[in-house]
């Protein structure tokens, strides 16, 4: 679940960004929509406890994030949040399984190959474990990145522009997998996007349960960047 109230974040030397309140129950999908530069990344960083809000309250998966220290925030993020970045950032020096193992390293816990294999199997790419990232197709790489995001069985999965650079069919398939994976883990799914296809997708067959999908629409900002 994600619950915000009067959330604000101010970049140094700039007017604070005000974010509309949300209240997303656990297991529900939140579409974070808005044009480029509207603060989607900032909102994601706040929800990921990467930066503390300037004002307002923020509760994610039962944790009041404003109460967390920096070290606690890192540990909390490792346990609770799965992140699917737009650029997948697969390390070319490592195999697929080792790339997933980075999540264990980041969290400071022991490597567990069984969980790696299970996570890969859950997104249907178990056979790619020992490949190198450069040997993967775009779709395969995205599945591997999703497996990495859910490796620690997170309560929240955040995907940043998951459909960018995908054609319609691949985008639909990717969203389907993302949604079903989040459902499998009972995780709240946040999709930051400015792609209209994502809204259309969730307005269709996956929105049958009322309240299953929420949308947080961030307005275009007429904000002047002030060099710090």
Partner 1 sequence: MNTLGLAWRYLWSRPLSAVLNVLLLALGLASITFLLLVANQVERAFNRDLAGIDVVVGAKGSPMQLILSGVLHLDVPPGNVPLSAVNALKNNPLVAEVIPISLGDNFQGYRIVGTSLAYPQLYAATLAQGRMWDAPMQVVLGATVARTLGLGLGQTFAGSHGLAGGGHAHGDSAYTVVGVLAPVGGVLDRLILTDTASVWKVHEDYTAEDAQDRAAMEEEREVTMALVRYRTPLAAISFPRWVNTSTEMQAAAPALEVTRLLHMLGLGTDVLRAFAGLLLLTAGLGVFIALWSAVRERRGDLVLLRMLGAPPTRIASLLLAEALWLGILASVSGLLLGQLFMAALVYFLGLDSVLLTGGLQWPAELAVVPALALAVSLTAALLPAWGAYRSDVLQLLQTR
| Sites of contact with partner 1 (CB under 8 A) | 41-42, 44-45, 48, 50-51, 70-71, 74-79, 81, 83, 85-87, 89, 91-94, 98, 101-108, 111, 148, 152, 160
Q: Phi and psi of 151, rounded to 5°?
A: -55, -40
Instruction: State the nearest-atom distance from the C-beta of 51 to partner 1, in Å.
Output: 6
Q: What is the smallest separation between the CB atom of 44 and partner 1, expressed in angstroms?
A: 7
CA gap 8, 10 in Å, rounded: 7
- CB neighbours (10 Å) of residue 130? 10
* CB atoms near residue 193 (< 10 Å): 21
Smaller CB distance to partner 1: residue 26 or 72?
Answer: 72
Closest to partner 1 by CB, 33 vs 148, is 148
Q: Strands 188-193 and 29-33: what pairing?
A: parallel
- Whichever of 173 and 195 has its CB closer to partner 1, that residue is 195
157 φ/ψ sector (left φ>0, alpha ψ -120 to 50, else beta): beta
Minimal distance in Å, beta carbon 206 to partner 1? Answer: 26
CA distance 202 to 223: 30
- Shortest approach of partner 1 to residue 139 CB, angstroms? 19
The residue (of 193 and 213) whose beta carbon lies closer to partner 1 is 193
CB of 158 to partner 1, least distance (A): 9
106 or 203: CB nearest partner 1: 106
Closest alpha carbon to 145 in 93, 198, 187, 89: 89
């Amino acid at each position: 679940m994600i619950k915000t109230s009067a959330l604000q974040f101010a970049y140094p030397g700039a007017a604070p960004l005000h974010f509309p309140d949300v209240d997303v129950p656990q297991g529900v999908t939140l579409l974070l929509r808005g044009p480029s530069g509207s603060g989607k990344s900032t909102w994601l960083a706040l929800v990921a406890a990467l930066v503390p809000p300037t004002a307002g309250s923020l509760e994610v998966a039962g944790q009041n994030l404003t109460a967390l220290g920096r070290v606690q925030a890192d540990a909390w993020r490792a346990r609770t949040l799965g992140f699917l970045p737009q650029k997948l950032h697969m390390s070319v020096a490592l195999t697929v399984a080792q790339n997933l193992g980075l999540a264990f390293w980041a969290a400071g816990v022991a490597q567990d190959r069984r969980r790696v294999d299970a996570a890969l199997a859950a997104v249907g790419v178990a056979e790619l474990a020992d490949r190198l990232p450069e040997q993967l197709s775009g779709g395969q790489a995205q599945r591997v990145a999703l497996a990495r995001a859910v490796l620690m069985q997170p309560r929240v999965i955040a995907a940043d522009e998951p459909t960018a650079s995908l054609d319609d069919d691949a985008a639909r398939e990717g969203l389907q997998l993302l949604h079903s994976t989040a459902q499998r883990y009972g995780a709240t799914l946040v999709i930051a996007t400015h792609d209209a296809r994502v809204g259309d997708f969730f307005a269709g067959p996956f929105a049958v349960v009322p309240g299953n999908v929420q949308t947080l629409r961030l307005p275009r900002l007429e904000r002047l960047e002030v060099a710090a």
